[in-house]
Every structure is written in C-alpha cells, then in structure tokens.
Amino acid sequence: MTKVLAVDDEPAALAIVAETLTQYGIEVDRAQNGKEALELLAAQEEEQGGYQAIILDIVMPVMDGWEVLAALKSRPQWQDIPVVVLTARATTAEDVARITQYDGVFVGKKTSFLEILGDLVQRLTLGKE
C-alpha cells in the first residue's frame, strides 16, 4: 500500500490532505511538527517500504520544515523520498530555490493544492492495480 507522511501544525490542513489522499487508497500518517515527522520516519525504517512521499509545511513549532528538509537529505535512507512543500507562508524566490535545492516541490496553500494532491496521487499509484 502507498503510504504518505503529512506534516503541518494546522489540523484543518492535515485533515484536508489526509481525506483527499485516503479517497485514493493512500495511507496517510500525520505529524504536527518536524520533530514528530522525524520520529515517524525513524519508526518507518523498521517497516518494509516506508513512506513514498512527504507533504510538508515550512512554518511549524518545535521543528520547522527547513530543519526537516535538511534532516531528510542528511540520511541516505530518506534522501530519495519525494517532498511536496505545502505552505501558506509567502515565499520568496530564495525560499523556492532552497526548496528546489532539496529536490522538493513548492505548492502554496492558497493555490489549488487539491489539484497538486491529485497529481501526486496519480504519480504514486501509476501502474499499481
């Protein structure tokens, strides 16, 4: 089964992401900050398959998305997990470049992120039936 980690400190945003992906048969784990996300990632190392993608907010308490991106790239077992950065924060060109440096994809929460989630679902489920 395809499994995604959604990380956001806003419960409503987490709910929308989880409900949308679940409709497509994708299992979603939720974390409310970066520290929780890294703990879930570490726990998944012991399970076969791990996460096929991460949907990540940038501005969060405890540990922000920038710290999560750095941690992902510092561990070989996490480096290749695709990341979609979904944030309401007004990002600068520097922020978008920084996200791209980590092989992430930036999506503003104010854009039609349900379309982006749909695209992610298609990519994750392509050829799986």
CATH of the domain at 75: 3.40.50.2300
Among 43, 45, 40, 44, smallest CA distance to 30 is for 40
DSSP assignment of 45-78, as one string?
Answer: TTSSS--SEEEE-SS-SSS-HHHHHHHHHHSTTT
Least confident of 29-33, 119-123, 125-129: 125-129
Structure tokens at 99: 């996200």
Confidence of residue 7 (pLDDT cuts 50, 70, 90): very high
Average pLDDT over residues 41-60: 84
Higher pLDDT, 86 or 13: 13
- CA end-to-end span of the chain: 10
Instruction: State percent of the chain over pLDDT 70.
Output: 66
Q: Tell me the pTM.
A: 0.77
| Residue-range definition of the domain harbouring residue 42 | 3-125
Average pLDDT over the chain, rounded to an integer = 80
The string of pLDDT tens digits covering residues 88-103 is: 665 667 766 766 665 5
Domain count, the chain: 1
Say what the pLDDT of residue 25 is.
Answer: 87
Phi-psi region of 119 (alpha: psi -120 to 50; beta: other; left: phi over 0): alpha
